[in-house]
Structure 1
Amino acid sequence: MEDLPVHVMIDILSRLPVKTIIHCKFVCKKWLDLISDSYFANLHLSRSPASLMLHHNPDNGMRAPRKVGILKWVEVKDELDHHHLHHDPVMTFDLDLAPIFQHSQILPVGSVNGLICLWQYGPKSDNTYICNPITREYMILPRQQYYREGYAMIIYCFGVGSLTQEYKVIRIFQGDIPPDPTSSSRPSIVEAEVYTLGTCQWRSLGHVPYLLNGWSGPFLNGNAHWIVLDRDSPEELCTFDFDKETFELFPSPPVEIIEESQMHFQSLAVLKGCLCQSDTFESQFTIWVMKEYGIKESWHREVIIKESISPDLDWVMWEPVYLTEGLKDGTILMIYYEDKLLAYSPKTRTIEDTKIFNRYFTGMGYRPSFLKLQKFESESVYVL
Structure 2
Amino acid sequence: MVRTWLTLLVSFDFSKCVFETMPLPDVYTVGEFNLRLALFKENVACIEQQFGEKYDCNVWVMNEYGVKESWYKLCTVKLDQYNYPIGFSKKGEIICKKGDYKEDEEELWLCDPVTKELQSLPMQPLEQYFKIAVYKESLVSIKSLNGETNIVHFNSVVEPCDFAGSNLEANCVGLQQ
2:108 to 341, 344, 349: 341
1:272 pairs with 2:41? yes
Deviation at 1:336, TM superposition (A): 5.3
Q: Determine the structure 2 residue equivalent to 1:287.
A: 59
Q: Are the counterparts in 2 of residues 322 and 336 from structure 1 also a CA contact under 8 Å?
A: no
Instruction: Give me the whole-angstrom Cα distance separating, in 2, the residues matched to 1:324 and 1:365.
Output: 10
Q: Which amino acid aligns with 2:28?
A: E
Equivalent residues in 2 for 1:149-228 (5 A)?
A: none
Root-mean-square deviation (CA), in Å? 3.1
Q: Are the counterparts in 1 of residues 87 and 132 from structure 2 also a CA contact under 8 Å?
A: no
Q: Are the counterparts in 1 of residues 86 and 96 from structure 2 also a CA contact under 8 Å?
A: yes
1:322 to 64, 86, 97: 86
The structure with the greater share of residues assigned to helix is 1
Q: Are the counterparts in 2 of residues 324 and 335 from structure 1 also a CA contact under 8 Å?
A: no
Larger Rg: 1
Any stretches of 5+ residues in structure 2 without a counterpart? 140-150, 154-177
CA-to-aligned-CA distance 1:16-45 (integer Å, 9 cap, x gap)? xxxxxxxxxxxxxxxxxxxxxxxxxxxxxx
Q: Are the counterparts in 1 of residues 57 and 78 from structure 2 also a CA contact under 8 Å?
A: yes
Q: Determine the structure 2 residue equivalent to 1:24.
A: none
Q: Which moved more, 1:232-241 or 1:287-296?
A: 232-241
Q: Determine the structure 2 residue equivalent to 1:365.
A: 134
Assess, with a 3 A threshold, how the Cα gap between structure 1 residues 248 and 270 changes in structure 2: closer, same or farther. Answer: same
CA-to-aligned-CA distance 1:213-267 (integer Å, 9 cap, x gap)? xxxxxxxxxxxxxxxxx96469422211112221122122112223xx4x21111
Equivalent residues in 2 for 1:99-110 (5 A)?
A: none
Instruction: Give me the whole-angstrom Cα distance separating, in 1, the residues matched to 2:6 and 2:132.
Output: 31
Q: Which amino acid aligns with 2:117?
A: T
Q: Which amino acid aligns with 1:322?
A: I
Q: Determine the structure 2 residue equivalent to 1:298.
A: 70
Q: Are the counterparts in 1 of residues 7 and 26 from structure 2 also a CA contact under 8 Å?
A: no
Return the structure number with greater relative CO, CA threshold 8 A, min gap 6.
Answer: 1
Q: For 1:297, what is the secondary structure of its paired residue?
A: helix
Q: Determine the structure 2 residue equivalent to 1:356.
A: 123
Instruction: Give me the whole-angstrom Cα distance separating, in 1, the residues matched to 2:115 and 2:66.
Output: 31
Q: How many residue pairs end up in the alignment?
A: 131
Sequence identity percentage: 25
Assess, with a 3 A threshold, how the Cα gap between structure 1 residues 280 and 241 changes in structure 2: closer, same or farther. Answer: same
CA-to-aligned-CA distance 1:302-340 (integer Å, 9 cap, x gap)? 020123xxxxx5521xxx53114331xx42334459833
Q: Which amino acid aligns with 1:276?
A: A
Any stretches of 5+ residues in structure 1 without a counterpart? 1-229, 308-312, 378-384
Assess, with a 3 A threshold, how the Cα gap between structure 1 residues 243 and 321 changes in structure 2: closer, same or farther. Answer: same
Instruction: Give me the whole-angstrom Cα distance separating, in 2, the residues matched to 1:326 and 1:269.
Output: 12
CA-to-aligned-CA distance 1:160-191 (integer Å, 9 cap, x gap)? xxxxxxxxxxxxxxxxxxxxxxxxxxxxxxxx
Q: Determine the structure 1 residue equivalent to 2:94.
A: 332
